[in-house]
Amino acid sequence: MKNKFETYLESRFRLNTKRGITNEIKLYQLWCEKENIQIENANYNDILAYMNYCREKGNSKRTIYSKLNCIKHYYDYLQINQERQTNPVIDVKLKNIERNILQSVIKYEELEKLYQDYPTAGILQKRNKCILGLLIYQGLTTSEINKLEVKDIKLEEGKIYIPSTAKSNSRILKLESHQIIQLQNYILSIRPVLLTMAEKNTDQLFISTGKTGIKNPHNIFSGIKKLLANLKKTESKIKDAKQIRASVINHWLKQYNIRQVQYMIGHKYVSSTERYSTNKLETLQEQIEKLHPFR
């Protein structure tokens, strides 16, 4: 475990982070040995028992969750090497994380209505409708939207290429017919105007407005923030882009198998996709209310 796992960590984390994870795994391994548990085969209840052990030793809730994150990396490593199919830590973390997903999921029909009703009177509204479409129909993150370039939109093919990020895989997804029309108009008519106003030249797809006008075309985050703020005025349920993405994933899981959704959403690990399943969340929530040491 040690050499291969540490090599895995070295390829993904800085030295101090890698050292911290390694130390936590050693402590967890010692506990497993003491409890006669094979670390590679530990299950959900074993992780809960370890959490209880840490709590009884006086560790804070924050410290225990930090330990859980370290342990999660080990089981991610086993999954990547096909030595294990599931990650037991994912289920345990539902108490404060995944349960919130279930509580804040928005019906897909409501998301579509937000898109349909979004006004397109001004040039920024036309830009924002394109962004909103990518949030709702392709489930993109704000980082992925910010990274898009004009060449990533394949209008003739009716597809979009989403480049990889540090947290997501690249993929090619279908564009809805109404998106193609909106994006074509944006690229040919709206974007050139924004570039002229910004006095900049960039391949980036979406051009942003700064606090004092259109000054920074290399960062669309402020534009998305304003878009979401406007959406909240129409639909109070809207919290942020992550909530929209979670709702899209939850909707897709009702239509496609989990491996398809993993590809469509760009998750590196299938365990990341599993947490968005409503049925799984409801079952896990019942279990955690009975067993979780933090309830």
Distance of CA 71 to the CA centre of its chain: 20
How far apart, in whole angstroms, are the C-alpha atoms of residue 25 and residue 71?
A: 6
The pLDDT of residue 215: 44
- 2-95 matches 108-253 in fold: no
Residue 214: its H or E element: none
Q: Which residue has the higher pLDDT, 201 or 24?
A: 24
pLDDT in tens, 56-80: 889 888 888 889 999 999 999 999 9
Q: In what order do the strands lie in the sheet with 159-162?
A: 153-154, 159-162, 171-174
Dist. CA 260–CA 99, nearest whole Å: 23
CATH number of 2-95: 1.10.150.130
- pLDDT reported for residue 93: 59
Between 186 and 15, where is the model more confident? 186
108-253 adopts what CATH topology? hpI Integrase; Chain A (1.10.443)
Give the integer Cα–Cα distance in Å for 96 and 262.
23
Q: How does DSSP assign 206-272, residue by residue?
A: SPP-BTTBS--TT--HHHHHHHHHHHHHH-TT---HHHHHHHHHHHHHTTS-HHHHHHHHT-SSHHH
Closest CA to 5 of 84, 73, 89, 83: 73
Q: What is the largest CA-CA distance in the chain?
A: 68
Do 88 and 46 touch, CB atoms closer than 8 A? yes
Look at the chain and count its residues. 295
Whole-number percent of the chain with pLDDT over 90:
54
Residues pairing with 149 in the sheet: 204
Asked which of 30-34, 76-80, 250-254, 281-285 is least confident by mean pLDDT, the reply is 281-285
CA distance 278 to 73: 24
- Give this prediction's pTM: 0.65
What are the structural domain ranges in the chain? 2-95, 108-253
For all residues of the chain together, what is the average pLDDT? Answer: 85
Q: Is the pLDDT of residue 155 over 70?
A: yes
